[in-house]
Structure 1
Amino acid sequence: MSNPPKPALECRDVTVKFGDVTALSDVAVSFAPGQIHAVVGQNGAGKTTFARVAAGLVQPTAGAVDVMGEEIRTGHVNQSRAAGVELVHQSFALPPSFTVAETMEFGATGKGGVYSRRGLSEKWRSHLASLDVQVDLNTRIRDLPIETQQGIEIARALVMDARVLILDEPTAVLSPTGIDMLFARVRRLKERGVTVILILHKIREVLGIADTVTVLRGGRKVEGPLPIAEVSAERLANLIVGDAIAKTLDRHERDALVGTKSPVGEGAGHPETAHGPSVLSMKSVSTRPDSEGTALDGVDLDIRPGEIVGIAGVEGNGQKTLVRAISALADLASGSIRLAGHDVTGEPLGARRAIGLRIIPFERNVEGLSLTSSLWQNWSARELLQGSLLRVIRPATVREACDRSLREWSVHYHNSAQKAGSLSGGNAQKVILAREVDRGARLIIAAQPTRGLDIGATAFVWQALRQARDRGVAILLISSDLDELFDISDRVVVMLSGRVNGEFRAPFDIASVGAAMTDAAARKSA
């Protein structure tokens, strides 16, 4: 009888501590070669830390890592890569000004040189073609769609004949078509004998692609690797959050976690609140090109009181510029913007906030909060933005008001003087909600409001937006998660290359929305 194959990757009792925080605790797991393995868990479960340990980016406090039965020196990227382990991060690390060929060469050698453009293209054409990455090798990275950039990231990771490829949240920024392309590419890698480990957060995706699944919770391994044929969606959901929490989830929260069916949405059906003149009205808005993102090109958009309008689209198609235009941070080339009945086309952000604009920004730790400032200073920023900078601010009074607000929003914190950077992602987002979702809000822009949050924090954000909608607030929801958009939106507007490329109402058809996102066959339905 032949001996069983050695695990492609094995972690033996791996523990990782960052100061007083334990990110991984005695994690022991082994992955069979030539299979597709999923690793799942809530935000903070330890998934990314696990991936970074395997890739040599994090030195574990205790434990060992084996590749194909051989122990490797942990905490050293070069050692892990030499052993055949490659990691593709959720945030791509491609140099935007490089051509595809230059990017591949730099990724392989780590240095520049003197090359002919034709020579580089010839050198890398067959490698990219073997992975079904169809691209002009002289195109600059910044001009490529997200799906192609991801394909190049994977191709670059496989230059050194990687035996274990780890993809961290690879579906987070992709359209439905892009996810299909990714999964087809992963299956081809499996056929070539590559072991693929996918860090995922949607159970529907896990069931659709993986051979096995491993569940982490609170830095510990709960189960796995479990053969996917032996795991139901309900059991996997319970493993992710724990039986006690699973019993407390309502239908919307469970659907968000399980996500086993293609989303169709129930967001529409609030005509009793969505009435009256538009709170936001954008007419033929175009912006001047800048370095911050895709310019808008003739955008028309209206949102009424008591309506949630979702913005769908592959990232980088003008969503950020849309928010900047509404916030007076992008220069308009033409068109007009009306907010709560006022023409604000030439008005600054402060004036727009004074009549009811509120913003939950894309990057809560960059745009939303000053991590080195106190909670009360972050919370009181709205007073400074909406009023005169010369007005007297009484810290004691502001702190009292801040404490009342943070308690109302169930923020877990010690005191309002602590730094914002000390909070978890969910609590940091609640601080922003406490500041922005106030009684003076007329239009709330919620940009990726649940990205990086676990199911509990996600449900809290959804509830806050629904309650604001029911009070008559107009909400612009921007999300790369179609499940989220379909579940909560009354209408979904698709953006492509800075233009509106489709508008849809519930029940939503994922195929039609996906086609509009990729320009396959843009449809418009009233």
Structure 2
Amino acid sequence: MVSIADPMGTVSIQSRLGLAPGTPPLVALRGVAKYFPGVIANEDVDLAIYPGEIHALLGENGAGKSTLMNILTGIYQADAGEILRDGETAEFSSPIDAIAAGIGMVHQHFKLVNAFTVAENVHLGWSQTPARISARTLEARTQKLSQDLGLTVNASARVSDLSTGEQQRVEILRVLARDAKVLILDEPTAVLTPAEARELFVALRAFTARGNAVIFISHKLDEVVEISNRVTILRGGRKVATEWTESCTEKSLAQMMVGREIVLNNLRERPKGATIGAPVLSLKDVSLKSHGAMLLKNVSLDLHAGEVLGIAGVAGNGQRELSHMLTGLAVPSSGQVHLDGVDVSMSGARAMAEAGVGHIPEDRLHAGMSPALSITDNTVLREYADAPLAQGPWYIPRQALHLAQEIAKLAEVMVPDFAMPARNLSGGNQQRLVARREMRIADKVLIAAYPSRGLDVGAINTMMHYFVELRDRGVAVILISEELEELVNLADRIAVMFHGEIMGIVPGEGVDIEDIGLMMGGRRNT
């Protein structure tokens, strides 16, 4: 057996976690390094995960968290260092090897087959799935697994009909059904309601109470402080520290992550002469009906030049449909959309973009980018037909690369190879590129749907200043967010949505958070 050195002290860790003396980590990384052309993804990283603990992994976007977990789950092979399982050296040449060793990961972007049922997804590719089995038996097996593991699911439901929180439970069930002892969760609460996040935390505590462990990757520092026993911080691919969470604060964690103090102050302060102007984009009694369901109902909004209008509400209450309506991706069933006083209800997304409406979509990877295309192609997507990228019918790749490099520099994204697929970028870097790309065309309006999802505190700070920059240039900004603190810090007004309706619009400054919460639950603001 190989001994594990840990700067926090093995005895102390075992004692504080209630483990017997000599208990080895369930899994450990020692001296791990991974290099890509021109990039140090990880270097000399040590990490030990013990039975019964929830271990948070923090770091800025691009700090090396995903690469490290991809090494642990067999997707990547380390260039140096080793993996230890129960104190013994282990090698994982694929995710199949990792899951066979009891290590499973639920990624930020789910890997489910939407057309399949829950039971079919749980059993897909599982060695223990019988070659011939009826749908009823498959569902019964799945239902028993869900009861045994404390993850309630409807085994017969089609995945496409599930909420995001329900889909996440299916992903976790798939991993745990294969006897995972170490569960890796990448941004698990990014798309969950507060109630769904609480349910997840209950399930995680029950899972670790059985002697298992969780690696919890998140940028929500309040949740990290609440749920984790220990926390490891990466910066620039290297480990900065491993600490007991109880000795940390959100502020101290943020400083260790980014190496400086993060301050989100004075976002409301406008430069001299910058004022809120006339309405530039308006919805007038807009409703949207699809497959018999009313997704938006009699929504009326005026968005003024030079203001930030926040949209609050629990996810799934019409925010996505609202963003689609404002950007021409959806056509109202009734009512009108006006841009500069002109009815644009039927204009479509291309016309709205050409008229100066930018859009940071909710799903940055699949709606904001084409993941298989190069970073260059994705970065210049809005301007590929315009000079200097195009001369008549001819596309000029050299000019496209120059523009992509310019946008990446403004977005503060380090790109080792602009020809590589956009899916190879970290989620935060994808988001920053999409944001800067859309800002270039947002002469009048920018619609930003959940722009800070999955971003670290430093990147969120940068993103908010993007919006301030646009606002001060007289551009109207709609900021759709589940983070009320984000809206209160920046928005001039906040509209609250519930079941596709506007419950009320309140001033952003000095607003009562409790009032917003009540409106999010369905109470109208009178």
**TM-score normalised by the shorter chain: which range applies?**
0.7 to 0.9
In the TM superposition, 1:105-504 aligns within 5 A as 105-106=123-124, 108-109=126-127, 114-224=132-242, 226-242=243-259, 245-246=260-261, 249-252=262-265, 273-274=275-276, 276-277=278-279, 279-286=281-288, 288=290, 296=296, 298-313=298-313, 318-362=318-362, 372=374, 378=380, 381=383, 384=386, 409=410, 436-437=438-439, 441-495=443-497, 500=502
Aligned partners of 1:400, 1:68: CA distance in 2, in Å?
Answer: 48
CA deviations 1:99-144 (Å, max 9, x no partner) are: 2222222264486855334322322223212343333322111111
Instruction: Read off the aligned partner of 1:125 and give its amino acid letter.
Output: Q
Contact 2:106 2:172 in 1 (8 A): yes
Aligned partners of 1:369, 1:27: CA distance in 2, in Å?
A: 32
Q: TM-score, normalised by structure 2?
A: 0.80
Tell me, yes or no, if the aligned pair for 2:219 and 2:455 is still in contact at 8 Å: no
Distance change >3 Å, CA 5–CA 488, structure 1 → 2: same
CA 1:432–1:124: 2 relative to 1, 3 Å: closer
Does the C-alpha gap of structure 1 residues 18 and 107 become closer, same or farther in structure 2, counting only changes over 3 Å? same
Amino acid at match of 1:29: L
Structure 1 runs not aligned, ≥5 long: 254-265
Task: Give the residue type in structure 1 aligned to 2:358.
Answer: R
Q: Which moved more, 1:501-510 or 1:170-179?
A: 501-510
The CA deviation at 1:279 is 2.5
Q: CA RMSD in A?
A: 4.3
Q: Percent identity?
A: 34
- Deviation of the 1:300 alpha carbon: 3.8
SS at match of 1:358: strand
How far the C-alpha of 1:306 sits from its partner, in A, is 3.1
Structure 1 residue 37, shift from structure 2 partner = 0.8
Aligned to 2:46: 28
CA offsets, 1:168-210, max 9 Å, x none? 1111111222221211211111222221110111221111111
Residue 500 of structure 1: CA displacement? 4.8
Shift of the 431–142 alpha-carbon distance from structure 1 to 2, 3 Å rule, reads: closer
CA distance in structure 1 between the aligned counterparts of 2:324 and 2:451, rounded to whole angstroms: 16
Counterpart of 2:17 in structure 1 is none
3-state secondary structure, aligned to 1:170:
coil
Provide, for residues 461-520 of structure 1, a one-character-per-residue CA deviation record: whole Å limited to 9, x for no partner: 211212322444321123454443343223444556655566565456667756766xxx
The residue identity in structure 2 corresponding to 1:461 is: M
Asked whether the equivalents of residues 286 and 337 of structure 2 are also in contact (C-alpha less than 8 Å), the reply is no
Q: Does 1:7 align with 2:25?
A: yes
Letter in 1 for 2:328: A
Shift in Å, 1:77: 1.8
2:62, 2:429 within 8 Å by CA — same for their partners in 1?
no
Secondary structure of 2:199 counterpart: helix
**3-state SS of 2:23 partner:** coil
Contact 1:87 1:157 in 2 (8 A): yes
Q: Which letter maps to 2:210?
A: R
User: What is the letter of the counterpart of residue 334 of structure 1?
Assistant: S
On the 8 A contact 2:55/2:216 being kept in 1, the answer is yes
**Gap change, CA 1:393 and 1:480, over 3 Å in 2:** farther
What amino acid maps onto 1:464 in structure 2?
A: Y
Q: State the one-letter code of the partner of 1:14.
A: V
Distance, in Å, in 2 between the alignment partners of 1:346 and 1:353 is 14
Mapped to 2, the partners of 1:173 and 1:346 lie a distance apart of: 31
**1:19 aligned onto 2:37:** yes
**CA 1:83–1:353 in structure 2 vs 1: closer, same or farther (change >3 Å)?**
closer
Give yes or no for contact 1:101–1:120 (8 Å, CA) kept in 2: yes
Matched pairs, number: 500
User: Structure 2 CA distance, aligned partners of 1:485 and 1:112?
Assistant: 51
Offset at residue 234 of structure 1 (A): 3.1
Deviation at 1:275, TM superposition (A): 5.6
Q: Distance in 2 between matches of 1:107 and 1:513?
A: 45
CA distance in 2: counterparts of 1:172 and 1:305, whole angstroms: 30
1:32-75: CA deviations, max 9, x gaps? 21111111111111111122222222211111111222222123
Which runs of 5 or more residues in structure 2 are unaligned?
1-10, 12-19
Change (3 A) 1:38 1:376: closer
1:257-294 per-residue CA deviation (whole Å, 9 max, x = no partner) reads xxxxxxxxx97999x9446446222422315559xx99
Q: What one-letter code is carried by the residue in structure 2 that aligns with 1:337?
A: V
1:450 CA displacement: 3.8
Q: Distance in 1 between matches of 2:57 and 2:294?
A: 34
Offset, 1:394:
11
The 3 A distance-change label for structure 1 pair 382 and 315 is farther
Q: In 2, distance between residues paired with 1:81 and 1:45?
A: 25
**Deviations 1:214-236 (CA, angstroms, capped at 9, x unpaired):** 11111111111x21222233332
**1:15 and 1:382 mapped to 2: Cα distance?**
38
Question: Which residue, 67, 70, 75 being the options, matches 1:52?
Answer: 70
CA contact (8 A) 1:46 1:218 kept: yes
Structure 2 SS opposite 1:279: strand
CA distance in 2, matches of 1:428, 1:349: 21
8 Å CA contact retained: 1:505, 1:525: no
Q: Deviations over 1:380-401 (max 9, x none)?
A: 718849xxx99799989x8999
| Secondary structure in structure 1 of the residue aligned to 2:32 | strand
Using the TM superposition, give the Cα deviation of residue 11 of structure 1 relative to its aligned residue in structure 2, in angstroms.
Answer: 0.5
Task: Write out per-residue CA displacement over residues 305-333 of structure 1, whole angstroms, 9 at most, x where no aligned residue.
Answer: 33322334555554444333333233443
Closer/same/farther in 2, CA of residues 172 and 404 from structure 1, 3 Å limit: closer
- Residue 523 of structure 2 is matched in structure 1 by 523
2:105 to 87, 91, 115: 87
Q: Could you tell me how far apart the structure 1 residues matched to 2:28 and 2:189 are?
A: 25
430-439 or 21-30: bigger deviation: 430-439
Q: Counterpart amino acid of 1:63? A: G
